[in-house]
Amino acid sequence: MGKIIGIDLGTTNSCVSVMEGNEAVVISNSEGKRTTPSIVAFLDKDERKVGDPAKRQAITNPRKTIFSIKRFMGESYFNVSKEVNRVPYEVVKTDNNVLKIKIENRNYSPQEISSMVLQKMKKTGEIAGLEVKRVVNEPTAAALAYGLDRKAKDINVAVFDLGGGTFDISILELGDSIVEVKSTNGDTHLGGDDFDQVIIDWMAEDFLKNEGVDLRHDAMSLQRLKEAAEKAKIELSSSTMTEINLPYIMPVNGIPKHFVKSLSRAKFEQLADTLIQNTMEPCKKALADADLNANEIDEVILVGGSTRMPAIQNIVEKFFKKKPSKGVNPDEVVAIGAAIQGGILAGDDSLKDILLLDVTPLSLGIETMGRVMTKLIESNTTIPSKKTETFTTAVDNQPSVEIHVLQGERPMAANNKTIGRFHLDGIPPAQRGTPQIEVTFDIDANGILNVSAKDKSTNKEQSIRIEASSGLSDTEINKMKEEAKANEESDKKEKEKIDKLNSADSTIFQIEKQMKEMGDKLPAEKKELIESSISNLKEAHKAQDLDAIDKYMDELNKVFQEAAQGAQGQNGNPNFQDANFQNPNEKQENKKEDKKGKDEYTDFEEVK
């Protein structure tokens, strides 16, 4: 079997890793960064930017730059109304309370946006044509990354995962190459974005108080506030004070206004105190579910960039009564662990003895009479797992039953999350309570659930497959595969265009520089010809006319070489051309060769 890569598709950043020998290595993206911002920007003429290039242009394109999309995945519009009001892009409600992201005249599902991030990361994931071998829970991946599975004695580990959009706490038991998840808990609406939001609100309220204008109502100003808040939060993890400086944030009565204010770590922690305290209740519940107390935890692992905040580290240390481990970069730990899991699946000899025993985080069941939820698989059940129960009809001569599949811990069906529905028809007429309907829940190691219902008298059966990874139908996946292929071609054309524009820019710069060095050694008529060619090339570059760029680059190189050779002859210096002239095109080629085949220009960095 070939190598299997591990992917962490995060709310804020994404990361890819692979096993090289006995070590998991993070793969750098096309910009040379070890993590890729989970951001997609839509530009004119069906262009897209993903990652750092998308993040760089977010301020000038706030309506069409999509970030933190993971917070909306698998959620109904009603459940994320708070988050919807915080983002500058348009989130719309469609049929059945399903949310979509509106970009001009098209609605995108959160899964489609996420697939674009995956495409950026070397076309990874099933949507890009690779087979998904395993979906592994983040806590399990983190434990693998820390190498805790190799400990000789059995230990209890708490994995505290505070990412950009969600918070998870998991209790694991490790030892003798076995990783078993004992319990998991968390808050799907608590993460780094919420800590950014308290700073955004603090800045906006201050400006509103002083100037009478709410910056949160302007998309561009809101995007600037978000970027400033994130930067301030990061700086306050390593320093006790930061200055937020946003010039020309908003004109008020025709007068440009600036926002300049200092924020101390103490003030930030005061603003975010409720969020910090909210991480503790899930920790208590997870310990209770695992039948442990804090003193019985041997190691605490921090996962997610938000755990760099000193206040989070302090409260974790106080709760578990021990210092958390910090041996692996929290932004990379999940991807590294996923790569190790990939090595296990690929049959890596150094990993062959490791066994992962994951759990389902929430109970799974169906709606039964009285609109109650009847659980078939309880939360924190080790997976894979299979459970069968027999149900019957509620009324006489009932011809069909609806299997309403639910996830959650509440007793009433309406208070839990619907993850699937299907009907079993053709039940023979009979008194209520007579038909025997056998319902089976089968959840595999990837957390993918298969639910089937079978009428014992006729052996008629219906089933549904519920995928935890994407929730996409085959039609949607095929559609995305086609879009990925189409974008691959457009991405290639865009790169060729950027290479040509950069080559023209470099040609202009090099020749203007060498003209200055030659000075009066260039004849006036030759100088006029060169300047005319440069002017033509600049106009073609400005218009992004690729055919004209080719024409005027050739013309410019020709007239400059002739002028340089003439100047060399006039001055009687046989080394003049070698000393002063370098073909700009040759320089471009040499730069590419120095990079050993890597793309020199990966994304167009101009802010539009």
Q: What is the pTM assigned to this prediction?
A: 0.62
Residue 593 lies in a domain: no
User: What is the pLDDT, as a whole number, of residue 220?
Assistant: 92
CA distance readout (Å), 364 to 233, 376, 402, 441, 442: 38, 6, 16, 8, 10
Residue 489 lies in a domain: yes
Average pLDDT for 370-397:
84
User: What is the pLDDT, as a whole number, of residue 244?
Assistant: 95
Is the predicted pLDDT of residue 129 greater than 70, yes or no? no
Q: Both 199 and 299 in a single domain?
A: no
Specify the range with the lowest mean pLDDT, choosing from 352-366, 498-512, 588-602: 588-602
Average pLDDT for 90-118:
86
Max mean pLDDT among 20-24, 138-142, 172-176, 285-289 falls in: 285-289
207 token code pair: 């400006």
Is the predicted pLDDT of residue 131 greater than 70, yes or no? no
Specify the range with the lowest mean pLDDT, choosing from 359-373, 460-474, 501-515, 563-577: 563-577
| Side chain identity at residue 43, one-letter code | L
3-class DSSP state of 356: strand
- Is residue 70 part of the annotated active site? The answer reads yes
pLDDT-derived band at 485, boundaries 50, 70, 90: low
- Is residue 460 part of the annotated active site? The answer reads no
User: What is the pLDDT, as a whole number, of residue 118?
Assistant: 72
From the list 291, 347, 344, 294, the residue with the least C-alpha distance to 316 is: 294
Is the predicted pLDDT of residue 477 greater than 80, yes or no? no
Is the predicted pLDDT of residue 597 greater than 70, yes or no? no
Q: Both 289 and 148 in a single domain?
A: yes
Average pLDDT for 66-81:
85
Choice among 149, 161, 193, 299 that is catalytic = 161
Cβ proximity of 407 and 362 under 8 Å: yes
Write out pLDDT tens, residues 199-222. Answer: 999 999 999 999 999 999 998 999
- Is residue 161 part of the annotated active site? The answer reads yes
User: In the chain, pLDDT over 70 holds for what percent of residues?
Assistant: 82
Rounded distance between C-alpha atoms, residue 80 and residue 70, angstroms: 12
Choice among 138, 196, 367, 603 that is catalytic = 138
Domain boundary among the residues 328, 357, 386 is at 357
Q: What is the DSSP letter of 267?
A: H
Choice among 55, 70, 226, 375 that is catalytic = 70
Residue 590 lies in a domain: no
User: What is the pLDDT, as a whole number, of residue 593?
Assistant: 35
- Read off the CATH number of the domain in which 221 is found: 3.90.640.10
- Read off the CATH number of the domain in which 383 is found: 2.60.34.10
Choice among 8, 230, 358, 367 that is catalytic = 8
- Is residue 154 part of the annotated active site? The answer reads no
Q: Across the chain, what does the average pLDDT equal?
A: 80
Q: Both 16 and 116 in a single domain?
A: yes
Q: Both 174 and 323 in a single domain?
A: yes
Is the predicted pLDDT of residue 595 greater than 70, yes or no? no
Write out pLDDT tens, residues 221-274. Answer: 999 999 999 999 999 999 999 999 999 999 988 899 999 999 999 999 999 999
Residue 600 lies in a domain: no
User: What is the pLDDT, as a whole number, of residue 591?
Assistant: 35
Residue 575 lies in a domain: no
Q: Range of 337's domain?
A: 138-190+276-357
